[in-house]
Amino acid sequence: MNSYVNMGVGALLGTVFVLMSVSIASEGIFHSEVPEKEGFTIVAEAPADAEGAGEAAVAAVPIGVLLASADATAGQAVFKKCASCHNDVNGGANKVGPNLFGVVERPVASHEGFAYSAAMKTFSKDGAEKWTFDNLNHFLIAPKKFVPGTAMGFAGLKNDTERANLIAYLRTTADAPVPLPEATPPATN
Ligand code: HEC
C-alpha cells in the first residue's frame, strides 16, 4: 500500500518535472524578443505627404506667391484626394462633404442641403467668413488645426506646390473664376 503511494507521488513528481523541463526548454527554443513597441502603431490620418511634423504645419509662403506659379491641371490630379468626399461639378450631389463647385470666395458652410458641423458653422461667422484663397490655404494645410472640430476627416496637404496647384484647380471649377490674388507678400508693417 505504502509503496503504491510512493509510486504515485513519484509518478506525479516525475510528470511535474518533465513538464517543467519541457516548458523551460521551449522557453529557450522559442523565446522571442519582446518588440520595442508592442502591436501596430495606428497613425490616424497619417499625412502621406508631410514634410515635417504635422504639428508645426503653418502656411509660411503667402498663397498669392504660391498661386503665381501654380498649375491648375496638376491640381486636378491632386483633387483625387478629395473626390471620395467632394463633388466638384456644377450642381453635383453632396457626398460625405459638400459640393465644392465655385468654392473660392463662397461663404463658409453655405452649400445647400449639407449638414455642416457645429465647428464649421461657428467658423462661418453666420456667413461673414468666405473661402478666400488664404482661408483655403490655411484650411487645407491642416483642416483640424484651422477649424478645430471640423467633420472633415482629412490630414491636410503639407506640400506647398501640391496645395497651390489644388487651389488653382478649385478656382477653375466656377462659372467665373475669381481673379488670382496679389503675388507679392503684404508688407509686414
Ligand atoms: C474623408 C472625407 C473628406 C475628404 C477626403 C476631404 N473632405 Fe473636405 N469636407 C469633408 C466634410 C465632411 C466637410 C464638412 C466639414 C464640417 O462641416 O465641419 C468638408 C468641408 C470642406 C470644405 C468647406 C466647404 C464649405 O462649404 O464650407 C472645403 C473647402 C473642403 N472640404 C475642401 C476639401 C479639399 C480641397 C479636399 C482635398 C484635398 C477635401 N476637402 C478632402 C470631407 C472631406
Give distance in angstroms: CA of 171 to centre of ligand 1.
15
pLDDT in tens, 83-136: 999 999 999 999 999 999 999 999 999 999 999 999 999 999 999 999 999 999
**Grid cell listed for 138:** 490655411
Is there a domain that residue 37 lies in?
Answer: no
Q: Are residues 27 and 60 in the same domain?
A: no
Is the per-residue pLDDT at 141 higher than 90? yes
pLDDT in tens, 8-62: 777 777 776 767 766 666 665 555 555 565 565 555 554 444 444 444 567 789 9
By residue range, what is the domain housing residue 17? 1-31
What is residue 34's predicted lDDT score, i.e. its pLDDT? Answer: 59
Q: How many domains does the chain have?
A: 2
How many of the other CB atoms lie within 10 Å of CB of 166? 25
Q: How far apart are CA 103 and CA 106, in angstroms?
A: 5
What is residue 11's predicted lDDT score, i.e. its pLDDT? Answer: 76
Q: Are residues 98 and 129 in the same domain?
A: yes
Q: Are residues 4 and 81 in the same domain?
A: no
Q: Are residues 17 and 74 in the same domain?
A: no
Give distance in angstroms: CA of 183 to centre of ligand 1.
26
Q: Is 93 exposed, middle or buried (0-12, 13-18, 19+ CB in 10 A)?
A: exposed
Rounded to whole angstroms, the maximal C-alpha distance in the chain is 106
Give distance in angstroms: CA of 38 to centre of ligand 1.
34
Please, what sign has the CA dihedral across residues 155, 160, 166, 172? positive
Q: Are residues 76 and 157 in the same domain?
A: yes
For the CA of 151, the nearest atom of ligand 1: 18
Give distance in angstroms: CA of 86 to centre of ligand 1.
7
Q: Are residues 2 and 91 in the same domain?
A: no
Return the CATH number at 81. 1.10.760.10
139: left (phi over 0), alpha (psi -120 to 50) or beta: alpha
Is there a domain that residue 185 lies in?
Answer: no
Kindly report whether the global pTM for this prediction surpasses the value 0.95: no
Q: Are residues 27 and 76 in the same domain?
A: no
Residue 140 CB-half CA count within 13 A = 27
Is there a domain that residue 85 lies in?
Answer: yes
Is there a domain that residue 128 lies in?
Answer: yes
Residues with CB under 6 A from ligand 1: 81-82, 84-86, 96-98, 100, 103, 108-111, 116-117, 119-120, 131, 140, 150-154, 157, 166
Is there a domain that residue 8 lies in?
Answer: yes
Q: Are residues 25 and 59 in the same domain?
A: no
Q: Are residues 5 and 97 in the same domain?
A: no
Q: Are residues 105 and 161 in the same domain?
A: yes
Is there a domain that residue 44 lies in?
Answer: no
Q: How far apart are CA 87 and CA 90, in angstroms?
A: 9
Is there a domain that residue 178 lies in?
Answer: no
Q: Are residues 158 and 97 in the same domain?
A: yes
Q: Are residues 6 and 89 in the same domain?
A: no
Q: Residues for the chain: how many in total?
A: 189
Among 122, 115, 152, which Cα is nearest to 136's? 152
Is there a domain that residue 38 lies in?
Answer: no
